[in-house]
């Protein structure tokens, strides 16, 4: 199974099962992650900044395409509630704007 490493969560590694969204994998591993719209792809609060392995993600969803076309999702960002890891490992970071106040983050 592919692994996601969240760099600013002390390099926490999360296994991502086939067909599982990153948000589902993060939550299954006990990580609290911002997702204001309830994981419906209607906001960008669950985004992750991908540092390595962008090529291992599945294709952009309609929601991600819409936000990207409006300039609200950069080329190195994905919505964790929408995206999957299909072919290999990836590394990413929680954006400063969506860090939760009760979570402890590393640099």
Residue 68 lies in a domain: yes
90-93 β-sheet, strand order: 12-15, 3-6, 90-93, 47-52, 77-79
Mean pLDDT of 32-44: 96
Name the average pLDDT for the chain. 97
CATH of the domain at 52: 3.10.20.30
How confident is the model over 47-75, as a mean pLDDT? 98
pLDDT of residue 71: 97
Strand partners, 13: 5
Within a domain: residue 102?
no
106 found inside a domain: no
Direct distance between the N- and C-terminal alpha carbons of the chain, in angstroms, rounded to an integer: 27
* Burial class of residue 26 in the structure, from the number of CB atoms within 10 Å of its CB (0-12 exposed, 13-18 middle, 19+ buried): buried
CA-based nearest residue to 46, from 58, 35, 57, 38: 35
81 within a domain of the structure (yes/no): yes
Looking at residue 1, its pLDDT comes to 93
Q: Domain total for the chain?
A: 1
pLDDT of residue 28: 98
**81 is in which domain, residue-wise?**
3-97
Predicted local distance difference test score (pLDDT) of residue 104: 97
Q: DSSP state, 100?
A: -
DSSP secondary structure code for residue 41 in this structure: S
The verdict on residue 49 lying in a domain is yes
């Amino acid at each position: 199974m592919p692994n996601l490493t969240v760099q600013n969560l002390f390099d926490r590694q999360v296994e991502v099962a086939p067909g599982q969204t990153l948000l589902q994998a993060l939550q299954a591993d006990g990580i609290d992650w911002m997702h204001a719209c309830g994981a419906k792809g209607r906001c960008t609060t669950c985004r992750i900044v991908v540092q390595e392995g962008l090529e291992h993600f599945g294709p952009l969803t309609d929601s991600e395409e819409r936000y990207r076309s409006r300039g609200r999702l950069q080329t190195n960002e994905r919505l964790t509630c929408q995206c999957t890891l299909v072919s290999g490992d990836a590394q990413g970071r929680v954006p400063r704007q969506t860090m939760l106040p009760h979570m402890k983050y590393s640099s």
